A and B are shown apart, each in its own frame.
Chain A
Amino acid sequence: MKIKKFFVTLVVLFFIIIFDVLFSKLCPFYLRPNLWLVYITFVALFLNHTEAVIVGFVSGLIYDVLHLTLFGINTFLLTTTGYLLGWLNKHVNESLYKVQMLSILLSCIVYNTLYFLISQLFNTTKYNFLILLSVFSTFIVGFLALQILVMLYKKHNLI
């Protein structure tokens, strides 16, 4: 089962890379949905706390490698987001759409707040408030992506 989960995770990461590239071509940076954040939210809600931290770290690392950002910033942000959202695991009813939507919104808020704080600490990166617009696209696309992820994991009896 663990091996199956590992391969499904790899496939999901691969598709997230593809869609990330696609969205980076289609949308400007302030309208680009953050699919990594959606996946971390999914893992935090439906899998477990530890996996949310690990997936957060791996996703952040991939994001940092593929995007020309300050190396390590997204690793830190997504790991922290994964850890904080992980506390919701088994404390909320994840099958409710309201919970799912609120979780995505919460992850966006946590991510952007941390990003803002980090940008105040490091002079090399500046927080662009336009990026707040991406919360809407992440919320809409993320909710749909979350349903697909739930279906995929349920189909393979992983949740």
Chain B
Amino acid sequence: MTIRDFLRKNKPTSLFIFFTLLSIIFLSTETITKQVHSIRVFLIYFFSASYLPVYKIVSYPFDTFDKFVQLSYLYEENLKLKQLVKKLYVDKLYYDALIEEKNILQTVNKLSKKTGYKLCPAKVISRDYKSWYDECVILIENFSSVTKDLPVVVYFPPDKFYFVGRIWDVEKNVAKVLLVSNPLSMLPVKIKNKPVYGVLIGESSVKLSMDYLLLEDDVKIGDIVVTSGISNIPEGIEIGKVIDIDISSTGFKKAVVKLSYNINALKNLIIIFP
């Protein structure tokens, strides 16, 4: 009997031996080589046409049910995350405020060394709409040496200072500032680079009047008005520009002065210790 005859007569046994050998090869190569993985990947690709759509269809209701069950957990997790986000947001605000404070302090220290004056940073914390152009409330960092009538300025980089007003009242680390635009503020001022002096009176607006100018005084539109250096306010701090000149009822010249800065946007101020 030849091998071919044996195979014909025992077809199931021959096939069984062949397939068993094939299975054993698969089994042994699984642990020895990775080549069998490529066969597996190929076969998966071959079957995926029928397997994957079926798997997706069958999985859909189960996945939906799982999602529904997980809703309660998601809700709790969502609440926790919201709280975390709130906390992080507050932390971020606090961090930003600290950074800003640090920057302001650094700037003030630099300016203090540059100008030779002792400076103290302050932050506007309140402005009443009824007295918007009259006063504002500030929070002072180093409040121990702050007294009434100290000049308050606003700083614009790189080297611009504008006069804002004077300390009106102090209580602990909070002070009220009498703004230059307040009608009660009567500030001795002068025209920059000219021996022309007068009194700057507020009118509860961005426009102020420089009164008591002599008729022969050389005042022109566009002249810059600065602090005069009389009293405890340092000389030469810019306030505004002359935009109109008139004769007042008292017989003096009167100049209309417009503030050089935006008095509505006061935020960080500096107190000068002469």
Which residues on A are within 8 Å of B, measured CB to CB? 14, 17-18, 21-22, 25, 49-50, 52-54, 56-57, 60-62, 64-66, 70-73, 75-76, 79-80, 83, 86, 122, 124
Contacts and interface: CB of A to CB of B under 8 A. Distances in A.
B12 A72 contact: no
B148 interface: no
Contacts of B25: 72
Contact of A62 (B15, B22, B47): B47
**4 tightest A-B contacts by CB?**
A72-B26, A76-B23, A72-B27, A49-B12
Contacts of A76: 20, 23-24, 26-27
A21 B55 contact: yes
B43 A65 contact: yes
Interface in B1-47: 11-13, 15-16, 19-20, 22-27, 30-31, 36, 40, 43-44, 47
Contacts, number: 82
A80 B22 CA distance: 12
B62 interface: yes
Given A17-B47, A122-B31, 17 more contacts: A53-B15, A53-B16, A57-B15, A61-B43, A64-B26, A64-B40, A65-B43, A71-B30, A72-B24, A72-B26, A75-B19, A75-B22, A75-B26, A76-B20, A76-B23, A79-B19, A86-B12
Contacts of B12: 49-50, 52-53, 83, 86
Given A17-B51, A21-B54, A21-B55, A57 B19 contact: yes
Nearest to A71: B30
Interface centre among B11, B13, B24, B50 (most CB of A within 10 A): B50
Contacts of B40: 64-65, 71
A124 B19 contact: no
Interface residues of B, number: 27
| Dominant secondary structure at the A interface | helix
B37 to A, nearest CB: 8
A18 B11 contact: no
Contacts of B43: 61, 65
A73 B47 contact: no
Contacts of B54: 17-18, 21
A70 B24 contact: no
Nearest to A62: B47
A80 B24 contact: no
Contacts of B260: none
A64 B19 CA distance: 14
Contacts of A124: 30-31
A83 B16 contact: yes
Given A21-B54, A50-B11, A73-B27, A79 B16 contact: yes
Given A71-B26, A71-B30, A72-B30, A21 B58 contact: yes
